[in-house]
Structure formats: structure tokens, C-alpha cells
Structure 1
Amino acid sequence: MRTQPAITTVVFDYGGVLTTPGRTAVESWARAEGIRPESFSAVLRDWVGRDAPDDSPIHLLETGELSLTEFDGMLAERLVRADERRVVAEGLLSRLFSFMEPDEEMMRLVTTLRASRARTGLLSNSWGNSYPWQRLGPMFDQTIVSGEVGLRKPDPRIYHLALRRLDTKPEHTLFIDDVRANVATAEELGMHTILHQDAQRTRTRLTELIPGLDAPERQE
């Protein structure tokens, strides 16, 4: 029986994996702003959906080709408030990200991996947001942010970049993301993958893939 290569490196997405689910944050933000959710859904469909052009505003924002200020203005023009008042563009995405809190169980899982001597990486498509590097920095051997490298998931080139920086091969690497298209590219490159849904299921699957990992129990 052929032995499966051991996983020595685990690469995490950030938003929606190590944080509050993106949908939860968006719903809270839309309520606070008085934005009609269907107007934001239409933006996502047009700018990041299956048929979105390569130069859509979200794609350009993620690769650093569009500034956050420019994007805020473009997004505000597309959104509709329930009271028909104008959406305030200044700081629009920053207000969205204020509703995105750390998922403490996932954070503990990364810490457990570090303690087990696994290498860890962060591979994130940035929407011009800031990251809590004071906390995240010590948790990862390498951090790759799309806006800093001019590439975005699911472009295979950003995965190859992550593998090079982490000095690992696909068959020894596990990739965890909450976006199916991003996971699909990792699978095509020969990486192990987990499509993240919640911390409990990801932890369970991770302990199956890395035998002996002493993952922390859920704290109620």
C-alpha cells in the first residue's frame, strides 16, 4: 500500500477562515449602513462572480491596482440604501471590516500547529484592509497578501509563490480556504485541501490529515 506524503506545511486564508464568516460581517455591516442587501449581492455577482471580467474593481483592488479610496467611491455608487439616501463612500470598506472579528478557535488551531512544529503560511486576497500583524506575525512563517505581490487567488502563480516562500512541495502542503474556486486551484496543483465551513469541522478534518495533532477542544 502506497504511503501518502506527510503534511508538513499548512496554509490558511484569512477573511472568513481566521475571522467571522464574511457573510455574517456583511449582513451586520449592511444593517448598520441601512444598505439593501440585494444591491451588494448584485455588486458581488458583477465584480467577482463566475462571469466577472479580469479587470473588475474587486480584482483590481485585490492586486493593488486600484486604491481603497477609489474602490470605496465605486462601491458607494452601486449600493442602495433602504431610505434612498446616499451611501457615504469615505471609509466604506473599513466600516465593513470593523464587523470582522477573529475566530478564536481557528486562531488556537494555528497556534497548535506551530507548537507541533508544522510550518504555517497565510495566503490572503486583500480588499485594501489592514491586518492585525502584531498578533498574526508570530503565528506564520510566511504571509502572502495579494495587494502586496500583484497576484490574487485563484491565479496559480500566487500559490506557487507561497510554496516557494515556504520552501515546500504541494504534496506536503495543506491549503484551507472558504472559497471553492480557491480550493479547486490548490487541488489542481497537488495540494491537500479543506473547504472551510466552520472551526469544528476544519479542526476535525485537520486532525484526520495530520495524525497525532493535539488540536484544542471547542470552548463553549
Structure 2
Amino acid sequence: MLIDWGGVLTTSLSDSIARWIVADRIDRDHYYAVMRELIDHAYKGGDGENVVHALERGELDASFFERDLAARLVTLDGVPPVAEGLLERMFAGFERVDAMHDMLRDVRRNGVRTCLLSNSWSHTYPRDDWDELFDEIVISGEVGMRKPEERIFRHALSRIGLAGEECVFIDDIEANIVAARALGINGIHHRDADTTIAELEGVLRLTLRERDRK
């Protein structure tokens, strides 16, 4: 099983971003216009590449990206936000989703191999219990590949020793799910823990939520 981190094992990115926008007094409409252009280009295709591609592959220093993004944005005070620490502040609102972490422990107890497959924006991952959750770790900035590139999925599959048809992938970004399905991987588009766990139980033919039924 392949699984994303931010927005899947944590609360949603949109919630974290919303908190940061308020805290840093970011012009919300302007921010979303800027990011929509960058993200659509990075995940839905387009000519050439932008700073998101390079950041996620680890080709671009985080401080450069922070300065680049800050220069594109504006606060309600009419000035750019502080660039230093921008990414840390953007992701500070991520909160752990215990139900998804419990699910990973359940599937591993049932003999399912698990691999974290995450696109990194140079942020810090809380890795304290990862030995309990994952057999393998594939983080884009550490391997020089990013979702939805075919090669990162093939790399992750090779790490856990599975063919695409033997694997399921959980992610909150539809473009990544589409890319995985093109390789024969069973994709689950994550929206909330209950729905994802129910879908995964059907795919794996396992009961993963005994604790909720007691």
C-alpha cells in the first residue's frame, strides 16, 4: 500500500493554509489566484516547469522558493509577507489524524506492506512513530522525483516489492490518483478518514476498525 502524508495522515492542507492566511494577514483572493496557476501547471500539465516542480524534487532551495512565493503575494497591509519561514508557517496547521495512523498499524498487523509516498515542500515531517507505520519511505525531495510522475510510482513499487495491480494508493490530489491508476494501481481519492478506511476495507478485504465497533 502506498499512502500520502499531508492531507491524508494529517488534517487538510486547505485548513492549514486558511489559518496561515489569517495569521499572516495574506490577501486571500490574490493568494488563491497565484497558487491556482502554479498548482494547475504543476499537477495538470502544461508547457515547461515552474518552481513547484523544482521544489518538490528537491532541486530548489526552500529559501529561494519562499522568497519567490513571498514576492508574488501581498498582505492586507499592501506589502509582501515575510519570506523567511514562510513554508513552516503555511504547514503549521497540520494536525495528526489518529484514525488514519491506527489504520496503518492495522494493515501492517495483517501483513500488508506500507510505503509513504509524499511530495515534500521542504517541510519537517514528524517521524517519531514511522517505524510502526511504514515499511518504506519515499519522499519526493529525497529521491529527486515527484508525483504525478510515473517514475516515482515505479520507484515506490520496487521498494515494497509489488506490481501495480497488487497495490493500492491513497492520496488527496486527484491528478496523483489518475497517474497511479494508469499504472494499474488501485487508487483511493482521500476526502475523509471514515470514507477512505471503508473503501480500503473493501479493496483489501480486511476489517480495519474493530475498535470502533466495540
Q: Establish whether TM, by shorter chain, passes 0.5.
A: yes
- The equivalent residue for 1:56 is 50
Counterpart mapping for 1:118-133 below 5 A: 118-133=112-127
Letter in 2 for 1:146: S
Counterpart mapping for 1:39-188 below 5 A: 39-49=30-40, 50=44, 53-188=47-182
Distance 1:53 1:59, change over 3 A: farther
Q: 1:166-202 CA distances to partner (integer Å, 9 max, x unpaired)?
A: 1111111000001111000111100111000000100
Q: Secondary structure at the match of 1:175?
A: strand
Letter in 1 for 2:130: L
- Verify the 8 A CA contact 1:36 1:79 in the aligned structure 2: yes
Residues of 2 paired with 1:216 and 1:139: CA distance? 18
Q: Secondary structure at the match of 1:203?
A: helix
Residues of 1 paired with 2:47 and 2:121: CA distance? 17
Distance 1:47 1:12, change over 3 A: same
- The equivalent residue for 1:195 is 189
Which protein is richer in helix relative to its size? 2
Question: Percent identity of the aligned residues?
Answer: 37
- The equivalent residue for 1:22 is 13
Q: 1:107-160 CA distances to partner (integer Å, 9 max, x unpaired)?
A: 111111111111101000000111111222431011100011111100000000
Distance 1:188 1:170, change over 3 A: same
- Verify the 8 A CA contact 1:108 1:216 in the aligned structure 2: no
Q: TM-score, structure 1 length as denominator? A: 0.90
Q: Secondary structure at the match of 1:193?
A: strand
Residues of 1 paired with 2:100 and 2:91: CA distance? 18
Q: Which runs of 5+ in 2 are unaligned?
A: none
Q: TM-score, structure 2 length as denominator? A: 0.93
- Verify the 8 A CA contact 1:46 1:52 in the aligned structure 2: no
Please report the RMSD computed on the Cα atoms of aligned residues, expressed in angstroms.
1.6
Distance 1:98 1:218, change over 3 A: farther
Moved more, 203-212 or 57-66: 203-212
Q: Which runs of 5+ in 1 are unaligned?
A: 1-9
Match of 1:13 among 4, 7, 25: 4
Distance 1:89 1:145, change over 3 A: same
Residues of 1 paired with 2:131 and 2:27: CA distance? 36
